[in-house]
Amino acid sequence: MPRVAIIGCGDVATVHFEAIAAIEGAELVAVCDTDAGRLAAASAAHGVPGYSDVAALLDEVRPDVIHVCTPHNQHADPAIAALERGINVISEKPLASTLADGERLAAAAAASSARIGVCFQNRYNQAVVAMAARLASGEFGVVQGGSGTVMWSRTADYYRNRPWRGTWAGGGGGLLMNQAIHTLDLLQWMMGEVTAVSGHAATHALGDAIDVEDTAELVLTHANGVRSVFYATLANSVNAPITVDIVAEKATLQLRGDLTITHHDGRVEVVEERRAVSGGRDYWGVSHQLYIADFYAQLGQEGPFWINPDEALKTLRIIKDVYAQSYPERLLDVS
């Protein structure tokens, strides 16, 4: 019967409220936000106490689990405060807005008896699960290369509505940290450990609204010597389906929502993605509830949750490496 609190009652908290309501026995006991209007609305809507201070909530309410749904630069401190008190944590991506904070959070997780999971929920998408499992089976032979794309559209109003998104201080970066991180995570997870990163990030379309990147291209070298390439932009006219393609000796696997496996002998398989309705945005994917339910199902087990800070650091390090190459004059901002 876990007692749950949500830290940060903005946009993405919508799917967390839904997921908690769907877990049998889970009880929402408090909410927290520094914005008085959002806090009052969430407290009234869910009939629970509202707090503006994380420490006060943790010490007075003592929840079993907190969900961190704050802006990027406010992920690390609430999570660390909870872990130090033995309180379990579900944190939205990215792990933190800076690599230093991410590593600090990973250290706190290693020292705590509590569990923490980071929301890379697209790993729970039905087509993604099938893709990862089939690749891991070895049935397609040696992987020869991969690619990923995120070609989406954002407007200046998107950033004006939440000014932290377009800044180094608030977001820790732009497109790579906020939109493309999920697809980059899938690519590095299925292709294997990244040993070298060559990339460039730039602002091509939204320079009047943001001081971070809206476009990026990367070449990743993996531990087996195979390369993958990645391209992402917010300058597209629409939110096109994300893509992840992996080429192996015996088949090509293409993720476009659904998974298409084209065997080199001519056979074609399709694994359909589940379709789900949520109060959240379509591009958040359909698997927040599955991810969160799995985290709760594993409470009390030994060892870390499988998408933990050490796992989330892999993608954060790739992104920060690209920033260091692209903005050497702003090293303190991009680290």
The neighbour count for residue 110, using CB atoms within 10 Å, is 12
Residue 1: band (very low, low, confident or very high) from pLDDT cuts 50, 70, 90: confident
According to CATH, the superfamily of the domain at 123-270+308-334 is Dihydrodipicolinate Reductase; domain 2 (3.30.360.10)
Backbone phi, psi, residue 237, to 5°: -80, -20
* For the chain, percent of residues with pLDDT exceeding 70: 96
| pLDDT for the residue numbered 207 | 96
Residue 276, pLDDT > 70, answer no
Arithmetic mean of pLDDT, 261-289: 80
Arithmetic mean of pLDDT, 171-193: 97
Arithmetic mean of pLDDT, 135-159: 97
With respect to CATH, is domain 3-121 assigned 3.40.50.720?
Answer: yes
Distance CA 215, CA 208 (A): 15
| pLDDT for the residue numbered 184 | 98
Residue 331: band (very low, low, confident or very high) from pLDDT cuts 50, 70, 90: confident
Report the Cα–Cα distance between both ends of the chain, in Å, rounded: 40
Lowest mean pLDDT among 27-36, 244-253, 280-289: 280-289
Residue 50, pLDDT > 80, answer yes
| Residue partners of 33: CB distance under 8 A and separation at least 6 | 7, 8, 9, 10, 39, 42, 50, 52
Global pTM value: 0.96
Distance CA 238, CA 157 (A): 15
| pLDDT for the residue numbered 334 | 73
Domain boundaries, the chain: 3-121, 123-270+308-334
- Which residues partner with 79 through β-bridges? none
Arithmetic mean of pLDDT, 111-123: 97
Residue 102, pLDDT > 80, answer yes
Segment 281-320, tens digit of pLDDT: 555 556 999 999 999 999 999 999 999 999 999 999 999 9
| pLDDT for the residue numbered 284 | 52
Distance CA 267, CA 262 (A): 6
Residue 279, pLDDT > 60, answer no
Distance of CA 204 to the CA centre of its chain: 24
| pLDDT for the residue numbered 330 | 81
Lowest mean pLDDT among 17-21, 62-66, 235-239, 331-335: 331-335
| pLDDT for the residue numbered 275 | 78
Lowest mean pLDDT among 167-176, 261-270, 274-283: 274-283
Backbone phi, psi, residue 133, to 5°: -65, -45
Residue 136: band (very low, low, confident or very high) from pLDDT cuts 50, 70, 90: very high
Segment 52-65, tens digit of pLDDT: 999 999 999 999 99
- H/E element, 215: strand 215-222
